[in-house]
Amino acid sequence: MMYALTNASVFDGNELLNNYAVIIDKERIAAVCPEQDVSPQIKQINLNGATLCPGFIDLQLNGCGGVMLNGDFSNTNLELMHRTNLKSGTTHFLPTLITTDDQEMEQAIAVSRSNQQNHGSGNLGLHLEGPYLSKIKKGIHSEQHIRQLNQQRLQFLLDNHDAIKKITLAPEHVTAHDVQALTEAGILVSLGHTNASYQQASDAIKAGASFATHLFNAMSSITGREPGVVGAVFDHQLYAGIIVDGHHVAAANIRLAKRLLEHKLYLVTDATAAAGANISHFDFVGREIQVQNGVCIGDDGTLGGSALTMIEAIENCVQTVGLSLTESLRMASLYPASALSIDDILGRIKPGYSANLSAFNKDFKLTLTVSDGKLTQF
């Protein structure tokens, strides 16, 4: 089916285009052209002046829509997460598994692989957040499941590199050889939940680590004599996800990180079951998390992920942090696509690119999402 999206301000990943239409043919973008050039034979869908942009890409999503990836490993849950994401403009995501035992890790890998192969949803591959982390910087993760990476489990990860897109680990608790082996297998290594020194982080980066997980949160920070992991991220210009929900990171720190990392800073939600769901509490790997005024909190006051959606993160970037709309949109689409080296197919509105788009009005309310050419209006 071919159709044209019209009467929108089109952000193509580079600039805003007015009086342009986007023509979709099956699962691809066929053309971006002046509206007057659209053939009358093509069905037109009027977006009523909304902003049309590339679909958002979330590289850290623990759950949403009332469910978590942990605890119920099923295609049903992954598809529910995908459908919930579409309501807030996210067309692709890395389902993120929180620290758990080996058996559940193996189940999650098998289910995610099956989901990718058979369902064709927005699942870009599994993100393992743990279990090879620092207990000092564990955050909400279960201390009883945090453990060392041994040779047997390293080989297991390498053997399943096709399904594991990314792994978050603490560099002080693995070897440079481990990081190098994971990287060479095609698994993206991200520094997170770590109390490493600047030197330990730098050694891991030299071995292949190229990402940082939820920048500033659960990692050693900058002091006068010790730059810590945050300093290493800035100094080595890693890709870094950041949670812009008004609770995890101060607006001034977000602006600072943006100036230092530029296009390598991208938005993540770190979303939990509370995102896109009206619930008061949920289970987070055996711990009850209360949802209070949109904040997810454990019984000891520790933040337990977020209730954030990507369109809300973009709105916060514009209205609270002070970033431009176009740069905020890049942080939600083009930059994460570039981080995964898939910006030749996602992250732009351009002929030949995959038809994954989102549209929202001046109040940052979603009006339409296109997922692999399939259109959903709200």
Residues in the chain: 378
Helix pair angle (228-236, 198-207), 10° resolution? 40
- Decide: 172 and 210 in contact? Cβ < 8 Å: no
Extract the tokens encoding 345. 């197919």
Which one from 25, 270, 344, 372 is the annotated catalytic residue?
270
DSSP state of 53: E
Active site residue 12: no
Contacts of 308 (CB under 8 A, 6+ apart): 243, 244, 245, 269, 270, 271, 275
Q: SS3 for 277?
A: coil
Q: How many CB atoms lie within 10 A of CB 331?
A: 26
Among 279, 363, 376, CA closest to 314: 363
Is 65 exposed, middle or buried, given 0-12, 13-18 or 19+ CB atoms closer than 10 A? buried
Closest CA to 56 of 376, 369, 293: 369
Q: Show the tokens assigned to 36.
A: 């007057």
Beta-strand runs (E) in 26-179: 28-34, 43-54, 56-61, 63-64, 67-68, 90-98, 126-129, 164-169
Mind telling me the catalytic residues? 270
